[in-house]
Amino acid sequence: MLFAIMFAFWRFAEIVTLIPITGMLAWFVDGYLDANVMTPAHILILFIVSVLALAWSIFTLFSYHRSSANAHFVALVDLAFVGALIAGVYYLRFVARTDCASVRPGSPTDISLGIFGNARINYGLPEISVSKTCAMLKASFGLGIMNTIFFFITAVLAWIHGDNAARSERRRTYSRHASRSRHRSHSGHRHGGSRRSSHSHHRAYV
């Protein structure tokens, strides 16, 4: 029960954070396709990985019983996605050093100070401009790092659950074998006793 809750929570977190990555990078891919230009590797790799990871997360979340029965396989696939996400984030690492926002001061205004002359001050709030493409790439980079951690957590959870399930199955198999052995021993003892009893009765009548 605890595994189901933890696994579902982290899978849901993966889905929620992978959807924005897929949507933002799809916007870039669509733009490059419209311009008939090859999509750069730093966008394409993370986009493909995020699409596959999103599909895998949704599948394993809504088919929990099958995923629970194949926990070791789920753990291995999750570890593969950890490596793929690391590669995608590595190719996009340059955006971490990029400043996506620029701040411009408000418009200057001259104020008369009488006999002391004039003074120029910046009047109004500063203007902040944010590059949309840079901000989207930076958000995808950050969410990619988060999903690297999330998939590692679900891989560990699935592997631990697989070990526990294997031990439980071994205990059940051992219990069944022990029960059958006791049943056979008891049955053989009962049949042997009845044979000896009939044989002794036969001797008494002879």
> pLDDT of the chain along its 206 residues, tens only?
677 788 889 999 999 999 999 999 999 999 999 999 999 999 999 999 999 999 999 999 888 777 667 888 999 999 999 999 999 999 999 888 888 776 665 555 555 555 555 555 555 555 556 678 888 999 999 999 999 999 999 999 988 886 554 455 545 554 555 455 555 655 555 555 555 544 444 443 33
**CA nearest to 56, candidates 205, 158, 187:** 158
Q: How far apart are CA 7 and CA 11, in angstroms?
A: 6
- Residue-level pLDDT at 174: 45
* Domain range summary for the chain, segments of one domain joined by +: 2-98+134-188
What gap in Å lies between CA 44 and CA 119, rounded to an integer? 54
Q: pTM of this prediction?
A: 0.69
Contact 62, 10 (CB under 8 A): no
7 vs 154: CA distance, rounded Å: 6
Is residue 102 helix, strand or coil?
strand
126: alpha, beta or left? (left if phi > 0; alpha if psi -120 to 50): beta
